[in-house]
Amino acid sequence: MDSKQLTIKKYNIAIVGATGVVGETMLSILEERKFPVNDLILLASERSSGKEYLFNGQTIKVQALNESSFQNIDIALFSAGSSISKTYADIAVRSGCIIIDNSSAFRMKEDVPLVIPEINPQALSNHKGIIANPNCTTIVTLMALDPINKFSKIKRIIASSYQAVSGAGREGINELKYQSKDITNGREPTIKYFAHQIANNLIPKIDIMNDNGYSAEEMKMANETRKIFDDNEIKVSATCVRVPVLTAHSVAVTIETENKIPINNVRELIKNSEGIELIDDPEKEIYPMPIFAQGRDNCLVGRIREDLVFENGISLWVSGDQIRKGAALNAVQIAEKLI
Q: What percent of the chain has pLDDT over 70?
A: 98
**From CA 73, how far away is CA 329, in angstroms rounded?**
20
How far is the C-alpha of 145 from the C-alpha of 255, rounded, in Å? 9
What is the β-pairing status of strands 130-132 and 98-101? parallel
- Residue 330, phi-psi category: left (phi > 0), alpha (psi -120 to 50), beta (remainder): alpha
Residue 7's pLDDT is what? Answer: 64
pLDDT tens per residue, range 263-318: 999 999 999 999 999 999 999 999 999 999 999 999 999 999 999 999 999 999 99
Residues of the chain within CATH 3.40.50.720 domain(s) are 11-105
Instruction: Report helix angle 216-228 to 136-151, nearest 10.
Output: 40
Q: Quick one: which of 301, 125, 153 has its CA closest to 233? A: 153
CATH assignment, 11-105: 3.40.50.720
Buried b (16+ CB within 10 A) or exposed e, 84-105: bbeebbeebbebebbbbbbbbb
Catalytic residue among 97, 127, 249, 299: 249
Average pLDDT, the chain: 96
Containing 25, the helix (H) or strand (E) segment is helix 21-32
Active-site residue 196, yes or no?
A: no
CA distance 93 to 185: 51
Determine the topology of domain 138-322 in CATH: Dihydrodipicolinate Reductase; domain 2 (3.30.360)
pLDDT-based confidence at residue 3 (cuts at 50, 70, 90): very low
Phi, psi of 291 (to 5 degrees): -65, -20
pLDDT (mean) for 25-53: 96
Domain with CATH 3.30.360.10 in the chain: 138-322
CB 301 within 8 A of CB 270: yes
First-to-last C-alpha distance (Å) of the chain: 23
pLDDT number for residue 81: 93
Say which of 97, 136, 240, 299 is annotated catalytic: 136
Q: Say what the pLDDT of residue 8 is.
A: 75
Question: Is 127 one of the catalytic residues?
Answer: no
Length of the chain as a residue count: 339
Distance CA 276, CA 286 (A): 16
CA separation for the pair 166, 162 (Å, rounded): 12
The pLDDT score that the predictor gives to residue 1 is 42
Q: What is the pLDDT of residue 6?
A: 55
Q: pLDDT tens for residues 74-121? A: 999 999 999 999 999 999 999 999 999 999 999 999 999 999 999 999
3 state DSSP class of 322? coil
Distance CA 237, CA 41 (A): 40
Strand-pairing partners, residue 61, are 52
pLDDT digits (tens, 9 = 90+) for 230-262: 999 999 999 999 999 999 999 999 999 999 999
- Looking at residue 4, its pLDDT comes to 43
* pLDDT tens digits along 120-156: 999 999 899 999 999 999 999 999 999 999 999 999 9
Give dist(CA 196, CA 192) in Å, integer: 9
Pairing between β-strand 52-55 and β-strand 58-61 as defined by DSSP bridges: antiparallel
Residue 50 has pLDDT above 70, yes or no: yes
Tell me the whole-structure pTM to 2 decimals.
0.95
